């Protein structure tokens, strides 16, 4: 990453924004677009609570923030996230957030 972009990245993240490197973000969105039928099926299999948690993850909330917002334990959030990851065939928060955003669920 060029130094000027690195500084810009640090400033944005420090201010509370998220930073995605354009080239990598574009590649991720392209890969996700090829998986669209799977995503639609996955969304239909998510429970309302799982969908709510997936949206909160896409909004950038951490587990502790989700627990406070939903008045549940952190263990409950982790179980829901595990189930969401299984249903959508993903294994991390960034991919989950990208999927939720690509489907316009936020």
Tens of pLDDT along the chain (106 residues)?
Answer: 677 777 888 888 888 877 766 666 667 766 766 655 544 455 568 889 999 999 999 989 999 999 999 999 999 999 999 999 988 888 889 989 888 888 777 6
Cβ partners under 8 Å of residue 52, min gap 6:
70
- The C-alpha angle 48, 41, 44, rounded to 5 degrees, equals 20
Neighbours of 20 (CB within 10 A): 14
Neighbours of 74 (CB within 10 A): 13
* pLDDT of res. 40: 47
**Is the CATH code 1.10.10.10 the one for domain 36-106?**
yes
């Amino acid at each position: 990453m060029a130094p000027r972009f690195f500084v810009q990245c640090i400033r944005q993240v420090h201010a509370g924004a998220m930073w995605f490197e354009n080239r990598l973000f574009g590649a991720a969105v392209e890969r996700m677009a090829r998986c669209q039928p799977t995503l639609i099926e996955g969304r239909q299999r998510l429970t309302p609570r799982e969908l709510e948690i997936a949206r909160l993850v896409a909004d950038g909330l951490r587990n502790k923030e989700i627990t406070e917002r939903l008045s549940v334990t952190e263990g409950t959030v982790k179980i829901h996230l595990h189930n969401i990851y299984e249903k959508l065939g993903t294994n991390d928060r960034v991919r989950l957030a990208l999927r939720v955003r690509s489907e316009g669920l936020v």
